[in-house]
Chain A
Amino acid sequence: MNVVIFGANKLGRSIGDWLLNDWHEVSIIDDDYFKLKDAEDMLGSVVVEGNATYEETLRLAGTSRSDIFIATSESEAENMVSCQMAKEVFKVNHTICLIYSEENESLFQLLGIDSVIDITAVSLRSIQENLSVDVILSLMDIPGSTSANLISVRISEGSETVGEILSDLNLPNGFSVKMIIRSGAIIEESIEETILRADDQILAITDSVNLDQLKELFQ
């Protein structure tokens, strides 16, 4: 695949490194000389100096024959413009835009940018997972659906569900358990008959389920 990355910052360079290791073709655009120098030292001659919102720069980076365009710069506005140029002028199949707050998520989706990734939300989710303070965590939205989610439920020691058979619980409609993780092993077979223990982690797909209600059930 042919990938153009806007932003020679740490993230852009890491994405470039990962793709090059998989033998994809990569170009990295930035207007900062020092960042480009770092990128060149790390990845070789893949860098293009210039403003990624300008047609000329995008052309020099080979955007017209690229399959994927990824904007990882610190400026949300420039990420937006470069993705729109890549999509509308250069007909790039998949555009990915990084944002730093949910403020502009729906706008960018409306503008036709294929993937809008909220860095803050991703980091927050990762921290929450690590701390496992919350009983219920939303792990990801199911792509293509507006209401479905992949969630994780952690059974705490004091939970009333400990010792109960999963199918005996009054689970809401639209809550479908896919697997249970117990002491590092995965239980996928006859999940419904599993007797829950403390520290079990349930992975489930939910569709239009009230998470607060679910929380109460597993408390």
Chain B
Amino acid sequence: MISKKRTSIKTNQSHIKVVIAGCGNYGRNLAITLAESGKEVIIIEKNREKLETLSKLSIQNDLIVGFLGDVTISEDLLEIDIGTADLFIATTGSDSVNALAAQKIKLMYGVDDVICIMSDVSKQKLYESLGIRIVNHTEIAIQSLIDSSLES
């Protein structure tokens, strides 16, 4: 289900609410996994085509709501009621946009638990020291390559 701007998004009190920025491969698959474990998921994405890939999902996905908007803009964040989120995960293709969104949502909207996907290792320490959890996909890929080459 895709929600356009200016429609209210119903929030169900009993679910854990997760907001994901970015509806690329990371965001979409993360949303499916979280929804399958019963979490309520809102994906915010500014590219309409990417967002529409949600409607092709085969799983029963009442729990995933797509929202067309910009995660760095307050107006859009207020529209999805960001302050009520239990967890925010930034998965856009830009480390910088992820860092901006994560800090904004933590500091301005009081969402304590924020996770940021990054590809550059050198920024990790800085943002971890600011209370943002960093998942570095370069590091993970390298680690799993090392692990699998040791096994063989």
Contact = CB atoms under 8 A, between A and B. Distances in A.
A107 B103 CA distance: 8
B120 A53 contact: yes
A2 interface: no
A87 B125 CA distance: 14
A55 interface: yes
B108 A88 contact: no
Contacts of B126: 84-85, 88-89
Interface residues of A, number: 21
Contacts of B94: 77
B152 interface: no
Interface string A37-79: 0000000000000010111100000000000000000011110
A53 B104 contact: no
A81 B96 contact: yes
B123 A107 contact: no
Contacts of A78: 96
B72 A81 contact: no
Nearest to A112: B130
Interface in B77-136: 94-97, 99-100, 103-104, 107-108, 120, 122-123, 126, 129
Contact of A80 (B73, B100, B108, B120): B100
B123 A103 contact: no
Contact of B103 (A55, A56, A111): A111
B68 to A, nearest CB: 18
Given A81-B123, A84-B126, A107 B107 contact: yes
Nearest to A80: B100
Interface string A97-109: 0000001101100
Interface of B: 72-74, 94-97, 99-100, 103-104, 107-108, 120, 122-123, 126, 129
